[in-house]
Structure 1
Amino acid sequence: MYTEPQLNTEFEKERPKLKSFLLRMTASVEDTEDLVQETYIKAHQKLSSFEGKSSLKTWLFAIASNLAKDLLRSKKRWPETVTDICREAALGNRDFLQNMMQVRMTSQQGNFEIKEHIAFCFACIGKSLPIEQQLALLLKEVYQFKVQEVAEILSVSEAMAKYYLHEARSKMISIFDKKCALINKEGACHQCTELNGIFNPKQKAQEEVMKIDMARMAQSKDKEELFDMRTKILQNLDPFNSGASELQLLHLQHNKKVMDNYLKET
Structure 2
Amino acid sequence: MEREEILKNALTGDINSFQTLFAEFQNQLKSYLYRLLTDRNDVDDLTHDTFIRAFDKISTFNQDSSLKTWVFKIATNLAYDHLRKLNRWPADAQDKGAYLAIGTEEIGQSFRIVHQASNAGAYEMKEHIDFCFTCISKTLPIENQVALILKDIYDFQIKEICLILEKTEGVVKHLLNYSRDTMTSIFDNRCALVNKNGVCDQCSQLNGIFNPKQDQQEQRMKLELVKESSKFNRAELFTLRTKLVKAIDPLHSSGADLQDIIMRCTRTAIGEVGDFFDSPQGNAD
Looking at structure 1, the residues matched to 160 and 20 of structure 2 have their Cα atoms a distance apart, in angstroms, of: 21
Can you give the 5+ residue segments of structure 1 that lack an aligned partner in the other structure? none
How many residues align? The count is 263
Secondary structure, counterpart of 1:260 in structure 2: coil
Distance 1:103 1:14, change over 3 A: same
Q: Does 1:11 align with 2:22?
A: yes
Which residue, out of 60, 78, 96, partners 2:71?
Answer: 60
User: What residue in structure 2 maps to residue 175 of structure 1?
Assistant: 186
Paired letter, 1:15 = Q
User: What residue in structure 2 maps to residue 234 of structure 1?
Assistant: 245
Looking at structure 1, the residues matched to 34 and 118 of structure 2 have their Cα atoms a distance apart, in angstroms, of: 21
User: What residue in structure 2 maps to residue 49 of structure 1?
Assistant: 60
User: What residue in structure 2 maps to residue 79 of structure 1?
Assistant: 90
User: What residue in structure 2 maps to residue 200 of structure 1?
Assistant: 211
Note if contact 2:100-2:265 (Cα within 8 Å) is conserved in structure 1.
Answer: no
Looking at structure 2, the residues matched to 242 and 78 of structure 1 have their Cα atoms a distance apart, in angstroms, of: 24
Note if contact 1:178-1:188 (Cα within 8 Å) is conserved in structure 2.
Answer: yes
Looking at structure 1, the residues matched to 267 and 42 of structure 2 have their Cα atoms a distance apart, in angstroms, of: 12
Secondary structure, counterpart of 1:187 in structure 2: coil
> 1:50-76, CA deviations, whole angstroms, 9 ceiling, x for partnerless residues?
000000111111111111111111211
Looking at structure 1, the residues matched to 78 and 55 of structure 2 have their Cα atoms a distance apart, in angstroms, of: 15
Q: Runs of 4+ in structure 1 displaced over 6 angstroms?
A: none
Q: CA deviation at 1:260?
A: 2.2
Question: What value does the CA root-mean-square deviation take over the aligned residues?
Answer: 1.4
User: What residue in structure 2 maps to residue 95 of structure 1?
Assistant: 106
Looking at structure 1, the residues matched to 118 and 87 of structure 2 have their Cα atoms a distance apart, in angstroms, of: 34
Looking at structure 1, the residues matched to 207 and 70 of structure 2 have their Cα atoms a distance apart, in angstroms, of: 40
Q: CA deviation at 1:7?
A: 2.6
Name which of structure 1's ranges 231-240 and 159-168 shifts more when overlaid on structure 2.
Answer: 231-240
Paired letter, 2:51 = Y
Q: Does 1:186 align with 2:197?
A: yes
Distance 1:35 1:195, change over 3 A: same
Q: Does 1:162 align with 2:173?
A: yes
Q: Does 1:223 align with 2:234?
A: yes
Note if contact 2:93-2:269 (Cα within 8 Å) is conserved in structure 1.
Answer: no
Q: CA deviation at 1:126?
A: 0.9
Larger Rg: 2
Note if contact 1:28-1:256 (Cα within 8 Å) is conserved in structure 2.
Answer: no
Secondary structure, counterpart of 2:222 in structure 1: coil
Q: TM-score, normalised by structure 2?
A: 0.89
Paired letter, 1:234 = V
Can you give the 5+ residue segments of structure 2 that lack an aligned partner in the other structure? 1-6, 275-285
Aligned residues with identical type, % of pairs: 41
Which residue, out of 101, 104, 111, partners 2:122?
Answer: 111
Q: Does 1:148 align with 2:164?
A: no
Which residue, out of 37, 45, 49, partners 1:34?
Answer: 45
Looking at structure 1, the residues matched to 113 and 92 of structure 2 have their Cα atoms a distance apart, in angstroms, of: 28
Paired letter, 2:232 = K
Name which of structure 1's ranges 107-116 and 251-260 shifts more when overlaid on structure 2.
Answer: 251-260
Q: CA deviation at 1:10?
A: 2.3
Q: How does 1:113-152 map to 2 (within 5 A)?
A: 113-152=124-163
Looking at structure 1, the residues matched to 89 and 147 of structure 2 have their Cα atoms a distance apart, in angstroms, of: 17
> 1:209-257, CA deviations, whole angstroms, 9 ceiling, x for partnerless residues?
1111111100011111111111112211111111101111111122122
Paired letter, 2:21 = E
Q: TM-score, normalised by structure 1?
A: 0.95
Looking at structure 2, the residues matched to 91 and 10 of structure 1 have their Cα atoms a distance apart, in angstroms, of: 45
